[in-house]
Amino acid sequence: MNEQEKIKGFSQSITNFKDLPVIMEAAMKIMNISNAEGASSRAFAKDTLSIEIEGPCQPQVTLVDIPGLISTTTRGISDADIEMVGEITNHYICQQRTICLPVVQATNDLANQSILQKVRKFDPKGERTLGIITKVDVPSPGSGTEARFLELAKNEDVFFKLGWHVVKNRKYEVRDFTIEERNASEAMFFAGSKFGSLPKDNIGIGALRLRLSRLLFEHIKNELPHLSDELDCALRSAKNHASLLGDPRSTLEECRMYLVRLSMGCQEVCKEGIQGHYENQCFKTDSDKSIPFNSEPPVTRLRALVQHANNDFAEKLRTRGHKYTIRPGMSNGEASKWVETMLIGSRGTELIGQFNPYLIAELYWEQSAPWEKLASDHIEKIYQLCENFLSGVLAHQAPQDVKERFWSSIVADGLNERREAAIHELKEIIQDNKCAPINYNHYYTDNLQKQRGERFKAQLQPTDYRSNTSVLESAVAAFSSKTAANMEKFSCEEALDCLVSIYKVQEKVFLANVTTQVVERHLVRGLDRIFSPLRIINLPNYKIEAIVAEPEYIKGQRLFLADRVKKLEEGQQIFRGAMNSAMTLI
C-alpha cells in the first residue's frame, strides 16, 4: 500500500476531546511529519486531516486550521517548509468563498504579524475577513499594548467589514481544564477586563461559534445564485464532454451500430458537400469570422473548392498550356521559324506551296506538350481537396481515435482507388491527344478564316489603306485569295493558321475531358460511396471492433463522466431543495 492509500484509509473515532492529541500523533505518523527537532521526516504536509465534531449543541460550521506563517528557518524547519506553509495559506485564502480568520496575538506587535498583509492581498476591501485576537490576557492592564489591541478590536485600526473578535487562550497552567472550566475562566477574565466593554457578540469562544454560524449562513445565502450557476455550468460541461465521446462502443453490436450510424452521417454530409448544399453545421465557419475576401473556401465546401480549382486550371491551360506564343496576324518571329523548320523536316511528295497533312499533327503535339503536366498537377490538387474534405467531414462526425482507424481501414483505400482510376483516365486522354487531331466542329473553320483575315490585315497595314478602316476591310476581303510570292513562306503561314485554329478547338475539348471524365467521373462524383453503410455491413466482426471499439482509457473516461453527471444531477436536486429551505428561513 502506497503513502496516499494509507492516508486515505486513516480513520479514527473518539468520544472525549482529551484523546484528540493521540489521534493527532497517529495522523502525523501516517503523513510522515514530525515536530521533533532533528527528525528526518518533514515538518508540514499538504494533506488535510479532517476532524468532524458531532453533537446536538455543535454549530453548523466548517473550519480549516492552517499552519502559522514562518519567517525564518530554524532547526526542524527548512526553506521548503516555509514555502509549503505559504502555498497552503495562499491556496485557502485566495478562494473567493472562503471567510478568512487571521489570528493575531496580543503579545506581538501588529507590524510583525504578516498574516494581515497576506489577507489584505487577497481580500483588499476586507469583505470576507473576520479578525481574531488571542492572548489578550497577557498585556498588563492599562498598558499601551492593551490600548492598541482594544482599538484594533473596535475595528478602528485595521478595518474589516466583518469586524474583529476577541478570545482568551488557555495558559500552560490550566492546560488540563475541561471545556466548561476553560469557558468559565474566559468569562471571568472579560468581566474584569477592558475588553469586556466590547459588544458581547464580539468576545468569547461561545459568541464566536454563534457569530461564525451566522456569518456562514449569510455568506452561503449570498453565494447561492453563484453556486447554482456553477453547478449548472459543471453539469453542462460534463454532459458536453460525454457527448463528445459519442455512443458507447463496448460490445460488438454497439460497435456495428455505431459504425453504421457514423457512415450514414458522413455519407449524407458528403453528398451535401458534393452538391454544394452547405446548410449542415459541418460547412459553417466560426461565428465571428467570415470567409476572407479573395481566398479559397473552407476545406469542407468541396463543390466550391472544385469549381475554384477548375477555373484556375482553365486559366493555366489558356496562359501556360502552349509552348510558343502566337499572336493574331503574326507572320514571322520564333513561331514562324519553328513552323518553317518543322515544314522542311516533314516534306513529302506534296507540291511546293503545300505541306504534308501530318505536319499539323506534329505542330499540335509539340504546341500542347505542357498539357500533360498541367493536367496531372490539377488532378493531384483535386485529390488533395477530396482528401481534406473527407478528413474534415469525418473529424466533425467522429472522435479522433475512431477517425484515425476509420480512415486507415476504409477511407484511405477508397480514396486511393479513385485516384488510381483518375490517373488511368487521364493517361487515356493524353494518349488520345497524341493521335492526329480529328475535328468535326465548324469552330475550326471559323477560326481558320479569322486567322487568315488577321494575317492579311497585318500585311496591308503599311499600305495607303490604313487611313480608312472601312476601305481597309474591303481591301482585306479583296486580297484574301492572293498568295504570297514566296511559296515556302505561304506554306508556313497556312500551316500556322491551321495550328492556331485546331489548337483552340482541342484546348476546349481537353479542358472539358479533364474536368468531366477525370475530375467529376473518378474523383468527385460518387465520393460519398466511400462511406456507404453497405461496405460497413459486409465488414468482418474483428475489423469492426478494431475500428471503433473503445480503448480502456475511453471506457474509464466514459464511466467517470457518467458518474459525474449522475452526482451533479443529484447535487442539483439537493441544492435546489436546500436553496428553497434557505429562502424560506430568510
pLDDT tens digits for 384-441?
A: 999 999 999 998 888 888 899 999 999 999 999 999 999 999 999 999 988 888 877 6
Does residue 293 register a pLDDT over 70?
no
Q: Which residue has the higher pLDDT, 42 or 492?
A: 492
Higher pLDDT, 361 or 494: 361
Report the distance separating Cα 298 and Cα 304, nearest Å.
Answer: 9
In this structure, the answer to whether residues 302 and 157 fall within a common structural domain is no
| Distance of alpha carbon 164 from the chain centroid | 49
Q: How far apart are CA 15 and CA 421, in angstroms?
A: 85
| 458 grid coordinates | 497585318
Do 177 and 209 sit in the same domain of this protein?
yes
Residue bearing the bigger pLDDT, 170 or 448: 170
238, pLDDT greater than 80:
yes
Give me the number of domains the chain comprises.
3
Query: Is 172 in a helix, a strand, or coil?
Result: helix
Residues 272 and 408 in one domain: yes
pLDDT 10s digits, 319-340: 999 888 777 654 556 777 787 7
User: Are residues 289 and 418 located together in one domain of the fold?
Assistant: yes
Q: Are residues 185 and 294 in the same domain?
A: no
Q: Range of 183's domain?
A: 61-222
Residues 95 and 145 in one domain: yes
For residue 232, pLDDT beyond 80: yes
40 within a domain of the structure (yes/no): no
In this structure, are 377 and 420 located in the same domain? Answer: yes
Nearest to 335 by CA among 322, 354, 348: 322
Cα separation values, 373 from 274, 342, 377, 415, 486, Å: 26, 24, 6, 22, 38
Range in 69-78, 113-122, 127-136, 140-149 the model is least confident about? 69-78
The answer to the question of residue 207 being in a domain is yes
Residues 231 and 101 in one domain: no
Both 135 and 247 in one domain: the answer is: no
Whole-angstrom distance, CA of residue 79 vs CA of residue 77: 7
193, 231: one domain: no
Of the candidate ranges 132-146, 185-199, 234-248, 359-373, the one whose mean pLDDT is the lowest: 234-248
Taking 60 as the threshold, does the pLDDT of residue 176 lie above it? yes
Determine, yes or no, domain membership for 449: no
Looking at 368-441, list the stretches that DSSP marks H as alpha helix, in order from N- to C-terminal side. 371-397, 400-406, 412-433
Q: Are residues 231 and 288 in the same domain?
A: no
Whether 87 and 114 share a structural domain: yes
- Assign 518 a pLDDT band (cuts: 50, 70, 90): very high
